[in-house]
Amino acid sequence: MLKPYKLKKKDFLSSLDLSTKEVNYIIELAKNFKNNDLSFDYKNKVLGLIFDKSSTRTRVSFQVAMSRLGGTTIDLNPTTSQIGRGEPIKDTARVLSRYCDVIAIRTFNHSDLEEYARWSTKPVINALTDLEHPCQALADFLTIKEEFLDFKNVVLTFIGDGNNVAHSLILCGALLSVEVRIACPKGFLPNPYVIKKAREIYKNDNLLKIMHDPHTAVQGANVLYTDVWSSMGEEYQKEEKDKEFNGFTIDSDLVKKADKDAIILHCLPAYREKEITNAVIESDKSRIFEQAENRLHAQQALLACMF
Ligand code: CP
Ligand code: NVA
């Protein structure tokens, strides 16, 4: 049975905040939680949730994860707290540090999350920013490990926007030495800083490929992954982006070009018939709902390593 292990860094703002050993440990711990092989007692521990954007999976899985650990959560809805009135981040962070044991934040600017973490004496978790979604990547690689048992020779092809979800997959993929191919239209590349950091981690330069033809990118791939083309906050670009991403839909024809045992992932929520067809989401290759369930187990494991 695995023993609790405290993460080296106080905060989890980026996939880069974990070492390879720590990612592997969290995935193993998550599997143990999933099999009900573990019980931790975090009675009296309180997780605060600050969500500036909507959420179903992240919010509820954090609430259930904390409850399974024996602790509680407080929903610090920005519209009903003074956060929405514009109270400075540095004041909110210092005050909430005196009540809560850990805070998960979903917001727009990654720099606001970093500013919060600078002033918070308690651990801060990135529950999604415009730059990264590292909790999602933990659940994604847990799902991949369950399917393929280890990460050796796994090829993950992400088809879509070079967005927050793609960034965390790239960085977590680099930590785990998984081959990651990003297939995106030319104007929608992942952030160059993320690519640079991933290349510093990868021992082999060929393991990260940025491509523009989904048909080439899926050849021999074991995991096909997509996300919405327009993320939260980009709704005003939707019409234009839908045109730019024409040809980047994961449909049955594209799936046929991947490895015969390939699985399909999507972080959800999905726009069916845009980035992915209804038939592919509902196909026997889809692990999308297992992946959503794994958010709970991965975050329970993450929280267990933060106190
Ligand atoms: N995948 C994900 O983060 O979903 P929510 O926006 O519902 O939290
Ligand atoms: N890229 C999406 C992910 C949603 C979970 C967004 O940021 O809206």
Asked if residue 164 and residue 229 are part of one domain, the reply reads yes
The CATH number that applies at residue 280 is 3.40.50.1370
Q: Please, which pLDDT band fits residue 5 given cuts at 50, 70 and 90?
A: confident
212-259, pLDDT tens digit by residue?
999 999 999 999 999 999 999 999 999 999 999 999 999 999 999 999
Residue ID of nearest Cα to ligand 2 atom 6: 231
Q: Considering the domain boundaries, does residue 6 fall inside one?
A: no
Query: What average pLDDT does this structure show over 60-84?
Result: 94
Asked if residue 96 and residue 189 are part of one domain, the reply reads no
Q: What is the pLDDT of the chain when averaged over all its residues?
A: 96
- pLDDT over 80 (residue 2): no
Q: Considering the domain boundaries, does residue 254 fall inside one?
A: yes
Q: In this predicted structure, what is the pLDDT of residue 204?
A: 87
Of all atoms in ligand 1, which is nearest to the CA of residue 127?
Answer: 3
Q: Please, which pLDDT band fits residue 203 given cuts at 50, 70 and 90?
A: confident
Determine whether 84 is exposed, middle or buried from the number of CB atoms within 10 Å of its CB (0-12, 13-18, 19+): exposed
Q: How many domains does the chain have?
A: 2
214-224 burial, b for 16+ CB within 10 Å, e for fewer? beebbeebbbb
Question: Ligand 2: residues within 6 Å at CB?
Answer: 128, 163-165, 227-228, 231-232, 267
Asked if residue 213 and residue 181 are part of one domain, the reply reads yes
Spell out the alpha helix ranges (H) of the chain: 20-34, 57-68, 89-96, 110-119, 134-148, 164-175, 192-201, 214-217, 238-244, 252-256, 278-281, 288-304
20-52, pLDDT tens digit by residue?
999 999 999 999 999 988 878 888 999 999 999
279 is in which domain, residue-wise? Answer: 136-293
Q: In this predicted structure, what is the pLDDT of residue 1?
A: 65
Q: Considering the domain boundaries, does residue 185 fall inside one?
A: yes
Asked if residue 27 and residue 107 are part of one domain, the reply reads yes
Closest ligand to 57 CA? 1
Q: Considering the domain boundaries, does residue 97 fall inside one?
A: yes
Which of 210, 156, 184, 200 minimizes the C-alpha distance to 275? 184
Q: In this predicted structure, what is the pLDDT of residue 261?
A: 98
Q: How far is the CA of 94 from the centre of ligand 1 (A)?
A: 27
Q: Considering the domain boundaries, does residue 5 fall inside one?
A: no
Q: Considering the domain boundaries, does residue 3 fall inside one?
A: no
Lowest mean pLDDT among 44-53, 80-89, 194-203, 273-282: 80-89
Residue ID of nearest Cα to ligand 2 atom 1: 231
Q: In this predicted structure, what is the pLDDT of residue 78?
A: 87
Asked if residue 153 and residue 68 are part of one domain, the reply reads no
- pLDDT over 90 (residue 123): yes
Q: Considering the domain boundaries, does residue 10 fall inside one?
A: no
CA pair distance 71, 306, nearest whole angstrom = 13
Asked if residue 234 and residue 92 are part of one domain, the reply reads no
Query: What average pLDDT does this structure show over 147-151?
Result: 97
Of all atoms in ligand 2, which is nearest to the CA of residue 161?
Answer: 1
Please report which helix (H) or strand (E) contains residue 49, including its range. strand 46-51
Asked if residue 186 and residue 122 are part of one domain, the reply reads no
Show Cβ contacts of residue 26 under 8 Å, excluding neighbours closer than 6 positions: 18, 138, 298, 301, 302, 305
% pLDDT > 70, the chain? 99
Query: What average pLDDT does this structure show over 178-198?
Result: 98
258-269, pLDDT tens digit by residue?
999 999 999 999
Closest ligand to 231 CA? 2
Q: In this predicted structure, what is the pLDDT of residue 113?
A: 98
Asked if residue 143 and residue 121 are part of one domain, the reply reads no
Q: What is the SS3 assignment for 104?
A: strand
- pLDDT over 70 (residue 103): yes
